[in-house]
Structure 1
Amino acid sequence: MEYIKKPQNSNPHMNNPWKNFLAAITVTDCENTWNFYKNSMETSVLLIAITDSDCPRLPLNRALMIPMVDHGDEFPQIILDAKVQQILNWKTAVVFVDQSILDENAVLVKSIVHESTTNHITPISLILYKIDDSLRGQKKRTALRQALSQFAPTKHEEKRQQFLVVSAFHEDIIEIAETLNMFHVGNQWMFFVLDKVRRDFDAGAVTFNLDEGANIAFALNETLPDCQDTLNCTISEVSLALVSSISKMTVEEQSIYGEISDEEWESIRFTKQEKQAEILEYMKDYLKANSRCASCAKWRIETAITWGKSQENRKYRSEAPIRDAKNRNFEFVNIGYWSPLLGFVCQELTFPHIEHHFRNITMDVLTVHNPPWQILTKNQHGVIVEHSGIVMEILKELSRALNFSYYLHEATTMREDYSFSTSFNPNETQDELAGSMTYRIPYRVVEMVQGNQFFIAAVAATVEDPDQKPFNYTQPVSVQKYSFITRQPDEVSRIYLFTAPFTMETWGCLVGIILLTAPMLYAINRLAPLDEMQIVGLSTVKSCFWYIFGALLQQGGMYLPRADSGRLVVGFWWIVVIVLVTTYCGNLVAFLTFPKFQPGVDYLGQLQRHKSISQYGLRNGTFFEKYVQTTTRDDFKYYMSRATIYGSGLGEDIEAVKSGHRINIDWRINLQLIVQQHFERDKECRFALGKESFVDEQIAMIVPSQSAYLHLVNRHIDSMFRMGFIERWHQKNLPSADKCSGKSALRQVTNHKVNMDDMQGCFLVLLLGFVVAVVVGCCEFWYHRFYVLSDSRKSKEFTI
């Protein structure tokens, strides 16, 4: 150990003389203290530094620094220590300080914005407001309101801000800020109470009008007025603490050394750094218990434990008496203190809710059974043993992110109050509608939420007129669209499949060019100038026609014109044949693979054109029904004027939809569920959903109107959207695209097997050929019998 008093002109480049020393005590100014510490870092000397005030504290695990702070000048040092020890881990701060305090502490602002790479101190972006403490009465309150109103939150946004108040008017500031709704869950408030020796300070009385959710802490001055803080006394205390710590460590080492061998001692003995750490801890413990003059200045820190107290499960609520005030659920706890000797000694965070949110308390949560949003499974005693569904998954993630557990309370409802579908099982024969709705909230849920006894109502509810409701909606967790269900259009008959590749105009042109090309070929062959160029097989129009027709069917021909003119006609005809046959075959494959359907109802505006649909249905209690009252779409009003409102499976009359006489409007996911159920039962697609989706219905959860946590919940729901959690839960719980969807239909087309419906046209063409051949054969027979044979008889008779 070396005792040094104000070393002068030390050269940092000379050989370091401290490599053999375990600890050193220095009494010097802040700059020399830090220089000595940096020079002794290589040799690892435990530094006990007594220095002047307003000095950034040395690393707490490597040194002990005691700034000599005068009474009333503690604020700069407190702020520096708060930043070094991350008691106030802020990046920005709004500081309200009395002008008189600022005049007495010239370096206060410098301490707030101080930054250091050595101590990893980040600078604080500062907004400073000087309070004119000469004002009194209404002028003072007006000036404070004008200053605070600039940071008041808006209705739809709560900015997260930090406020540091060093003022004698802290009670007025709290009162005015409360009227501006500035004590919400995102803000942090640190108040320095300037009254001397406030051991009787009642934080509950000062925060009488605050609601829960506030993050507020008080620093209370407990400096003893008769304490004598002198340099010599401090040096004596620190020296005695160091000697006592070394003696204690030496005794412990000797007790161990006497029990083991030298070899074992060499392997387990403390290193120099371990010795210093042990001495430092012993010194801190000694000074905490025995210091009398090195820690005269003392500030106690109290913080409020407020979050979730009114919604905490009754089983876990504290037995403390409840005050008749807004802050009746506040619990102020002593988290530690500050002294020049040790800085901040805290066993709790200054603002524990910012870091730990609800601190793992058990909250009461209200819910009802409503698949697929809330699916509750109960045991034989009616106790909820399992819960799932979209809303429940969101609740579980909120519980994890906000650090709370929850106890579910089911709001029992009368059937006539609200009817929830309780099953998706298609085999059940109950007269219940498939799917669910969220437009009508059970009255019991609204009644229980109004008392502010539940943290949240984990129910899916349609967002409607939020300003007129006795509760608040969270950010929407889902958007459901409406659509309609009809009979799937019948497939167009394929009996005329072989005529489908060409239009009637194309077929007419094809017949025309055949009738034109055959005479043209006959004329060119007949008008050849030389007899040897004329082909006997093309000497009649009939033979030319069959030649052209055979070439069209790619049968070829027995004859080829000898004249160049004839060859040109035949050559260009074959070019036409190649194009016609290739086009026809390609289109025939496409028409054979992809079936064609009769026109269906794709959009609601097409309903009036389908006279076969005579019944219109709409589920009872939908948001669509109210939406139509304010819409300008005529097709919606036309539908509602003819719609039958149904509330049961019998009224839904899905068989009429299957037969093509009825159309129903519902959520698209509910209609997908109907299609899926009937496909699993009938193994065929009999329904079609409209291509049009309309009326976005927003689905959200419910929180009490007095809840302080609405913006907090919304912020985390938004995070779940951005991370894709909610989309994944939708895919998991809501009906997905089934085998009757477009993608599945495409897979069926890819694996399509040609059946009798596809080939019936082919066989009919063959049958038509047989019939025509028989008719032509009969004509040839009768022609030969009545004309050829009769002419032969006449010629014989004439010869005789």
Structure 2
Amino acid sequence: MSWSILFCLCVIVGVGECQIFPSLMTNATMAIVIDKEYLGDDYDNFRNKIEEFLEYAKREILRHGGIYIQMFAWPAISIKREFSALLSITSCKETWRLYRAAKRENLLHIAISEHDCARLPQNMAITIPIIETGQETPQLLLDLRTNRLLNWKHTVIIYDNFITDDLLTRVIKVLTKRTSQVSSAGISLMSLFTNASAFYDDINGVVRSKLAGLSENMQESHFIAIVAYELVEIIMTFAKELKLTNAQTQWLYVISNTNSKVKTLKRLKQFIMEGDNVAFIYNNTLINGTCNGGVACHIEETLTGFMKGLDDAIVQEFEMASQVSEEEWEAIRPTKSERTKYLLDKMKKYLMQSGSCDNCTKWKFETGETWGREYQVMETDESVAQILSVGTWRPSDGATLVDELFPHVTQGFRRKTLPLVSFHNPPWQILKTNASGDVVEFGGIVFKIINELAKNLNFTYAVEIIKSHNPPNVSATIASSYGLNETSSFMDLINNSETTTFRVPQGILELVHNKTVAMGACAYTVTEDNKKIINFTDPISIQAYKFVVARPKVLSRALLFISPFRGDTWICLSTTIISMGPILFYIHKLSPVYEYKGIRSKGGLATVQNCIWYMYGALLQQGGMHLPYADSARIIVGAWWLVVLVIGTTYCGNLVAYLTFPKNEAPITTLEDLIKRSDTISWSYSKNSFFEAQLKVSNDETYMKIYKGAKEKPNKRNMIAEIKAGRHVYIDWKIKLQYMIKQQFLESDTCDFALGSEEFSDEQIALIVAPHTPYLSRINQEIKKLHQMGLIQKWLQDYLPKKDKCWMKKRSIEVNNHTVNLDDMQGSFFVLFIGCFLSALVVGIEKCWCKKVKDKRQKKVVQPFIS
């Protein structure tokens, strides 16, 4: 059986009873909810009109198929799977409940509801709120909110006395209530006039005083001015005068007392300044014309669009099904969601092209395009701002936009080309040139930041180059081993002693001050004097000053064995040993125990020398051959052993520490240390630098001494030699001193320099912009984000020297375990040598003494006389 015969049978039998055709389009079912409670007395009238129109539509519009209609008087219905579409005429709350139920079954939902009702998602439904003429403002603002065109957390509403209290209440409600699309928001209200007569008195004075009462902290506020057309110019004038408009604020003017005679608001562009975010929504309703509207009109119009779309869908599916087998058609036929989308697109197209209900009511959207226009070359003599038509609004289909309502909020500078100015100053700005001297590439820290700003604020840039004392490097040699991937090599950077941010070419300041360029793409030191002619962004870097000194040398370890104790400790210990010997001797001698027991002997502890050697042996934990027998002498020896235990343990522990951690010379770490050694060490710093400027005006005593005692900076070779010899200290940026230390290491392979631990006189470095530029706050926001993400710090680290063995010694003394070497043990050999020398000397003295005594004894002996 062919598809055409089957279709004819279905039509004859009735679409509702023919279930064998594989397409749901031939037996589509539509549910129509006519809320009796919502419509009240008009219920029967609307139901009869719908039934009459459906009979007409089935006969005249739906020519290639049929549709089964189920009508309900209450919104509390069960959405069935066989439904293809749903038409509801009910309250906003019930409309959304029905939508959620229809969404689960992929139904096309056509909703006719009350005013101030958030529209259903446009990809699933058509929503038509019934709005009285002149009452469109709340619904219009609600549509903008649900479309996230006014996604503001707080709004300041400025209104005049032409808006009624009821309308104002509805506006407040739609701007604050929470919906499924947007969260709740806060508002502040400001009435310009308290009564109608006030409008005709002193308009300018009233408006100015009211706007002046707004908080000065509203730098990122959002304003909606619902005012008469005559007040717009006045509000715009005073808002700019009171600095309530800038690149951070957004102003939306809602003008209801206009009509179709007002074609555009371009005459207001003279009140829009560079960097403003200003948009207008004004009534463009047709006057002196016949307009259809109301619930009945929209019912007939939407049903007509649906029937036409359904008829087209049936024809399309029959044509497709007739070309394939039944099995193939079951595999390729459209799904329910695809049919829903097809019908929705057809309905929207019909309503857009042929819809007539409430078409007289129309609002236009226009916005100011201002960002970066003062830096563009205009072919015509136009003002800074341009007024762009960006969309329209109708009650039937809501807001239709062809561009952003606030284009600069979402699109920044809209790809405009901004002029910048720069000069070669590595590592901040690195300009790569070709053989002819033309700049072909921009690099360095500043241009990395500029590139991020250009990406986030959506602009391109053209750079004007100012020549300076520091010309671009023609060579493209890269020191890749140090992580540099720019045109200037590592050696270029460390040899460039003139790199500074404290002074820039005068031409750059003039171009920025005169607003010839949008920004100076160069790092510049922030000072109060400079703020008088240009403005600064938030700091991109803060460079601290330090000084470089000769690395402290390791002290001689020849006398390491005496290091655990100070000199006074050794003197006290020696005195104790010498004194304890006689004390033990006299205690031993005076004790009557030996005489009582008859055991006194002449050897052992009976001599002072033996007692002293015994105490010395006990100190070295060697003991002695003789111990006292008397308890009194034993108490003395026992007490001495306890002392020896404490002394020996302390000595051994400290000796291990001195062996592990070599002792260095006392380093110079602070400016105070430097001043204390001013008699042996000189210092210098770069002239015409930020540090010198700070020293001149400082009242700090330390800074004053540094300034007065500074010497003229010697040439580089002499300065390196003086610092290495420990006779000179150089003060500069920490990063430049790190370059110097790295260069010295590369040349000598030794770590001769060290940085002081104290950081002082922080120098803030920022980008420069024109005074009173409206974009400073936005630029600062982006710089803050770069700091928070760590990108700027990472870019700075890319230009720092890579870690080496000197880097570990910059911060502290080496803490790894130390292997004992000959330098550590040389003191022990010195002691042994001195001991041997003294022993040999004493032996000689003993021989001489013994010989002398022997000769003396021989003289005393009487010799026999022999003749």
With structure 1 as the length reference, what TM-score do the two structures score? Answer: 0.88
Q: Equivalent residue for 2:636?
A: 569
8 A Cα contact 2:158 2:190, kept in partner: yes
Task: Say whether 1:207 aligns with 2:273.
Answer: no
Given candidates 695, 702, 706, the residue that maps to 1:628 is: 695
Alignment of 1:33-432 (within 5 A): 33=95, 37=99, 45-102=107-164, 105=167, 108-113=170-175, 115-117=177-179, 119-132=180-193, 134-136=197-199, 139-151=202-214, 153=216, 158-168=219-229, 169-193=231-255, 194-198=257-261, 200-203=263-266, 205-225=267-287, 226-231=289-294, 232-311=296-375, 321-325=379-383, 327=384, 330-384=385-439, 386-414=441-469, 425=490
Distance in 1 (CA, whole Å) between partners of 2:563 and 2:458 is: 67
Judged with a 3 Å threshold, the aligned counterparts in structure 2 of structure 1 residues 249 and 453 are, in CA distance, closer, same or farther, namely farther
* Alpha-carbon offset, residue 491 of structure 1: 4.0
Distance in 2 (CA, whole Å) between partners of 1:710 and 1:564 is: 92
Distance in 1 (CA, whole Å) between partners of 2:575 and 2:690 is: 61
* Alpha-carbon offset, residue 360 of structure 1: 4.2
- Report the identity percentage: 33
Q: Deviations over 1:414-463 (max 9, x none)?
A: 4599xxxx9675599x9x55473211122122123234343322221111
* Alpha-carbon offset, residue 208 of structure 1: 0.8
Q: Equivalent residue for 1:797?
A: 863
Letter in 1 for 2:84: L
Given candidates 29, 36, 42, the residue that maps to 1:8 is: 36
Q: Equivalent residue for 1:317?
A: none
Judged with a 3 Å threshold, the aligned counterparts in structure 2 of structure 1 residues 460 and 595 are, in CA distance, closer, same or farther, namely same
Given candidates 545, 562, 573, the residue that maps to 1:482 is: 545
Choose 451-460 or 27-36, whichever is displaced more. Answer: 27-36
Q: Equivalent residue for 1:450?
A: 513
Letter in 2 for 1:131: L
Structure 2, unpaired ranges of 5+: 1-28, 38-71, 473-486
Alignment of 1:447-596 (within 5 A): 447-465=510-528, 468-526=531-589, 527=591, 528-529=594-595, 530-532=597-599, 534=601, 536-596=603-663
Distance in 2 (CA, whole Å) between partners of 1:591 and 1:12 is: 95
Q: Equivalent residue for 2:499?
A: 436
Q: Equivalent residue for 1:748?
A: 814
Letter in 2 for 1:140: I
Give secondary structure in 1 for the equivalent of 2:599: helix
* Alpha-carbon offset, residue 254 of structure 1: 1.8
8 A Cα contact 1:484 1:665, kept in partner: yes
Judged with a 3 Å threshold, the aligned counterparts in structure 2 of structure 1 residues 508 and 114 are, in CA distance, closer, same or farther, namely closer
Distance in 2 (CA, whole Å) between partners of 1:25 and 1:90 is: 33
Give secondary structure in 2 for the equivalent of 1:571: helix
Distance in 2 (CA, whole Å) between partners of 1:235 and 1:504 is: 109
Distance in 2 (CA, whole Å) between partners of 1:798 and 1:551 is: 53
Distance in 1 (CA, whole Å) between partners of 2:149 and 2:669 is: 64
Equivalenced residue count is 781
Judged with a 3 Å threshold, the aligned counterparts in structure 2 of structure 1 residues 636 and 87 are, in CA distance, closer, same or farther, namely closer
* Cα RMSD after superposing both structures: 3.4
Distance in 2 (CA, whole Å) between partners of 1:212 and 1:13 is: 53
* Alpha-carbon offset, residue 269 of structure 1: 1.8
Structure 1, unpaired ranges of 5+: 315-319
8 A Cα contact 1:435 1:670, kept in partner: no
8 A Cα contact 1:685 1:740, kept in partner: yes
Distance in 1 (CA, whole Å) between partners of 2:77 and 2:398 is: 33
Distance in 2 (CA, whole Å) between partners of 1:711 and 1:218 is: 24
Judged with a 3 Å threshold, the aligned counterparts in structure 2 of structure 1 residues 694 and 116 are, in CA distance, closer, same or farther, namely closer
Q: Equivalent residue for 2:733?
A: 667
* Alpha-carbon offset, residue 331 of structure 1: 3.6
Q: Deviations over 1:615-651 (max 9, x none)?
A: 442212211222122211233223323434449636x
* Alpha-carbon offset, residue 784 of structure 1: 1.7
Judged with a 3 Å threshold, the aligned counterparts in structure 2 of structure 1 residues 760 and 254 are, in CA distance, closer, same or farther, namely same
8 A Cα contact 2:675 2:706, kept in partner: no
Distance in 2 (CA, whole Å) between partners of 1:3 and 1:551 is: 113
Given candidates 812, 823, 834, the residue that maps to 1:768 is: 834
Give secondary structure in 1 for the equivalent of 2:576: helix
Letter in 2 for 1:634: E
Q: Deviations over 1:200-259 (max 9, x none)?
A: 3242x3131432221111223332221422345444433322221111212221221122
Give secondary structure in 2 for the equivalent of 1:81: helix
Distance in 2 (CA, whole Å) between partners of 1:207 and 1:53 is: 33
* Alpha-carbon offset, residue 778 of structure 1: 0.5
Judged with a 3 Å threshold, the aligned counterparts in structure 2 of structure 1 residues 758 and 91 are, in CA distance, closer, same or farther, namely same
8 A Cα contact 1:358 1:404, kept in partner: yes
Judged with a 3 Å threshold, the aligned counterparts in structure 2 of structure 1 residues 700 and 5 are, in CA distance, closer, same or farther, namely closer
Letter in 1 for 2:620: L
Give secondary structure in 1 for the equivalent of 2:270: coil
Given candidates 761, 767, 770, the residue that maps to 1:701 is: 767
Distance in 1 (CA, whole Å) between partners of 2:680 and 2:612 is: 52
8 A Cα contact 2:502 2:525, kept in partner: yes
Choose 230-239 or 567-576, whichever is displaced more. Answer: 230-239
Letter in 1 for 2:546: S
Task: Say whether 1:641 aligns with 2:696.
Answer: no
Letter in 2 for 1:475: D
Give secondary structure in 1 for the equivalent of 2:750: coil
Give secondary structure in 2 for the equivalent of 1:65: strand
Q: Deviations over 1:321-376 (max 9, x none)?
A: 44353x2xx34332221111111112332112222323444443333222232333
Given candidates 778, 791, 795, the residue that maps to 1:712 is: 778
* Alpha-carbon offset, residue 729 of structure 1: 3.2
Give secondary structure in 1 for the equivalent of 2:863: helix
Judged with a 3 Å threshold, the aligned counterparts in structure 2 of structure 1 residues 139 and 736 are, in CA distance, closer, same or farther, namely farther
Choose 353-362 or 774-783, whichever is displaced more. Answer: 353-362
With structure 2 as the length reference, what TM-score do the two structures score? Answer: 0.82
Distance in 1 (CA, whole Å) between partners of 2:492 and 2:177 is: 71
